[in-house]
Structure 1
């Protein structure tokens, strides 16, 4: 049997822990018991501690003298997360606009058109997957490693808390296409403003209490 390299093992443990937090197998406010968790994952405490330290950097854990806790987020915290995301992804649009090729726009429009067709067939998951790929494609197109990592860290927190916050595809398909039209024209300022407004439209749901992170 071939043993995993240290780097591969570290990443595997990190991924498993992150999924446990996102899927609420580890509850907000829960103290991490390292001995139990290392036995559960079948690893030593060294890769476990590395993964815990990384997740603390990403904002999912809180470090204290007693150890690590699963961080608890309020609705107000998540409103801040969405505001930061709107600013960062708006910036990503502005930086990506000059670099977007015609083939990129065609690819993204086709992705959404196919996803939207499946929504009408009551298969919404394809549309939401298209949404994830759309945002990631634009972020990656910036080729700005620091911005990409900042947005990724923000999304990790968001995904761990608000997995069920989806807006009506009938509304968002129009917003997505408007963003793509601005990118096709290489109008970074327009694309930035459209992306910011697109993301900020989720904030009133949190502010009004129509959606709670505890649902």
Structure 2
């Protein structure tokens, strides 16, 4: 029972960070989290310790806060993410079932209705990439990408909030799906690299504007 509660508390806190309920720099208080999620303080304490070990949280004196990525960390993360995501797309082109490809196509079609809602589009973007991960049919790659995407949640904003980026990202998603549908692994990998390069460039432009 304790292990289940610990797993749930860990997942609940991660989901809240992923949704943007907790932003980088926010302090997480054990008692407040226990009340928020309706669990006892022990599994929350264990989840916080685990998240600190995973570098999702950092310690500031006696307090724990959501970690913030600096410029170099963001660049390093995008470098790793790009290669892993490209591999996932390449494998998906080889191994995805026809049904999985149809789901990816439907996601792109339906996500067009979310343009203008950056948070909803960001959630849809995570689902889309997650579906490609699963379509790779490589459990070890899926695990590694899960770790990378936990770190991606530590970016305070989504590049999809930048004007015009949402529509461009959907066009890039379509190119990825078309390549997977054509069973062209090289094209799928290249389409993912192009997509993530443009997303990273958008983030860098926004970072430069805030300087």
Shorter-chain TM range is 0.7 to 0.9
CA radius of gyration, larger in = 1
After superposing on structure 2, the runs of 4+ consecutive aligned residues of structure 1 that deviate more than 3 Å are 19-27, 36-42, 62-70, 122-130
Kindly tell me the number of residue pairs found equivalent between the two proteins: 204
Post-superposition shift, 1:51? 0.9
8 Å contact from structure 1 (residues 94, 191) kept in 2? yes
CA deviations 1:128-148 (Å, max 9, x no partner) are 444322211110122322221
CA deviations 1:77-118 (Å, max 9, x no partner) are 2222222211111111112221123332222212211222x2
Q: Which runs of 5+ in 2 are unaligned?
A: none
Correspondent of 1:84 among 73, 80, 85: 80
- Cα 1:181–1:105 change in 2 (3 A) is same
* Whole-Å separation in 2 of the counterparts to 1:115 and 1:95: 24
Judging by fraction of residues, say which structure has more helix. 2
Superposed CA RMSD in Å reads: 3.3
Q: Which runs of 5+ in 1 are unaligned?
A: none
CA deviations 1:169-191 (Å, max 9, x no partner) are 33222211211121112111221
Correspondent of 1:104 among 100, 117, 141: 100
The match for 1:12 is: 8
8 Å contact from structure 1 (residues 112, 130) kept in 2? no
Matched, 1:174 2:168: no
- Cα 1:28–1:180 change in 2 (3 A) is same
**TM-score, structure 2 normalization:** 0.77
* Whole-Å separation in 2 of the counterparts to 1:10 and 1:49: 9
**TM-score, structure 1 normalization:** 0.76
